């Protein structure tokens, strides 16, 4: 395996967790899933977003850093590589759409201090779906806390990811895969195709694009 650390990222409903799980199973890789179910600020945030957005985003920041730092540095000799369904920069992208301007500037300062100490992925895969298809996937999986997500919010998150990639395209290998015409979650042939695109081709540092 050419890669030691692969990130599968995407917007809400893009299928990143499903893809990362299947890759981990097929390649005997160590899977790092995002763990947010136990966040104590989440129910408070849903009731009062204005009051709890900053502590919520800080708690996500701390949790993601601790999990990634521990899991990436604690290598399993019996696993071929590490695959995660999120990366630390997710915190910054989502916080930008949640926090006020002054809160976000403080948050960014804290983020930058922590980010510099984390290992960078060998390959950062971004699963691109347009907002209509994201909404279909979100409705299909039926999570109650996602039912009121607005199209505008999803569009802003998408723009945040692209802005992050544009600003860091001299540091990381980004692979943006347009998956609007495939269903790798329910169609095995589509899954094999996307797996081949990720692991059977070589990519340069910067933004690499594939339309499926």
Q: Residue 11: name the closest of 146, 182, 192 by CA.
A: 146
Sheet holding 5-10, edge to edge: 30-32, 82-84, 5-10, 123-128, 173-178, 206-211
Element (H, E) at 72: helix 49-73
Q: How far apart are CA 115 and CA 101, in angstroms?
A: 20
Q: What are phi and psi of 121, to 5 degrees?
A: -70, 150
Residues 6 or more apart whose CB falls under 8 angstroms from that of 29 comprise 6, 23, 79, 80, 81, 82, 83
Task: Give the active site residue among 74, 85, 101, 155.
Answer: 85
* Residue 31: CA count within 13 A, CB half-sphere: 17
Q: Residue 180: name the closest of 135, 141, 139 by CA.
A: 135
35 noted as active-site residue: no
Quick check: helix, strand or coil at residue 154?
helix
What is the set of active-site residues? 85
């Amino acid at each position: 395996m050419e890669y030691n650390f692969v990130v599968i990222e995407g917007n809400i409903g893009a299928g990143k967790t499903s893809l990362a799980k299947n890759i981990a199973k097929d390649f005997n890789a160590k899977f790092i899933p995002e763990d947010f179910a136990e966040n104590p600020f989440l129910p408070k945030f849903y009731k009062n977003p204005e009051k709890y957005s900053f502590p919520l985003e800080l708690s996500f920041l701390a949790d993601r850093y601790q999990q990634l730092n521990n899991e990436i540095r604690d290598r399993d000799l019996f696993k071929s590589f590490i695959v995660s369904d999120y990366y630390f920069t997710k915190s910054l992208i989502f916080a930008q759409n949640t926090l006020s301007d002054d809160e976000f500037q403080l948050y960014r300062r804290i983020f930058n201090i922590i980010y510099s100490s984390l290992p960078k992925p060998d390959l950062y895969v971004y699963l691109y779906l347009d907002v209509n298809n994201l909404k279909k996937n979100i409705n299909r999986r039926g999570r109650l806390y996602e039912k009121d997500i607005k199209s505008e919010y999803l569009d802003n998150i998408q723009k945040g990811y692209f802005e992050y990639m544009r600003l860091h395209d001299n540091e990381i290998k980004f692979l943006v895969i347009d998956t609007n015409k495939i269903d790798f979650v329910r169609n095995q042939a589509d899954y094999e195709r996307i797996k081949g695109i990720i692991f059977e081709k070589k990519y340069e540092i910067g933004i690499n694009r594939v339309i499926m």
